[in-house]
Structure 1
Amino acid sequence: SLTEERVVAEAVGQIEAVFKGCRGAAGDGWVVASVVHDWAREEHIRCGYSSPSIMHSEVSSQPRADMAQPHHCGRTVFCGEATNQDVNVTIQSAMETGIEAAR
């Protein structure tokens, strides 16, 4: 099992790799806080998945469309079920957005 510090370091490393070479890319001091929770240690939790409704956002009226836009260096950095505007939170929606991002 990984330590919390290692989990955070691995996640940060992946994010830094995505933004490498971009102006305003991730760097020292950009992580303000982190939380790691091992759900497998919870007695009454076996598995599960939940997400906000298709249009839930406190800062945007079109959160999925916003997330699907190119962000850094003209690249689409985010894809997955959360960015699919037509199908709600499924493997199908994740695959569709991945295919679209690859085009």
Structure 2
Amino acid sequence: ECVDLWNEYECTCPGGYQKSGPQCVNANECLWHPCQNGGRCRDYAPPKKYECVCPFGYTGMHCELELLASGVLTPSKDFIIALIACVSTLILLVLVFVVYNRRRES
């Protein structure tokens, strides 16, 4: 897309493309090394962009999830912390509800 300026013009490229001189070319997202744990990056033309090919034992968009020998995903530390926080909050809300109802009945 080009915009007409005073005695010149300025062009921008759509998503997935970058300027190379006067034209837009496919941006190689693999240059940013998005794949983890030894995954191989395959660059595609938009709209797909790129894909990580994960080594054995890993999965996920960026090969960030480790598989157990049984094929079950191991949850990340952040997921476990979030789960504990949610369960703790739920228990606290139930306790507050029980105490509130007991006081109301007395």
Which bracket does the TM-score occupy, shorter chain normalised? under 0.3
Q: Which has the higher strand share?
A: 2
| Higher RCO, 1 vs 2 (CA within 8 Å, ≥6 residues apart) | 1
TM-score, structure 2 normalization: 0.21
Q: Which has the higher helix share?
A: 1
Looking at CA atoms only, which structure, 1 or 2, has the larger radius of gyration?
2
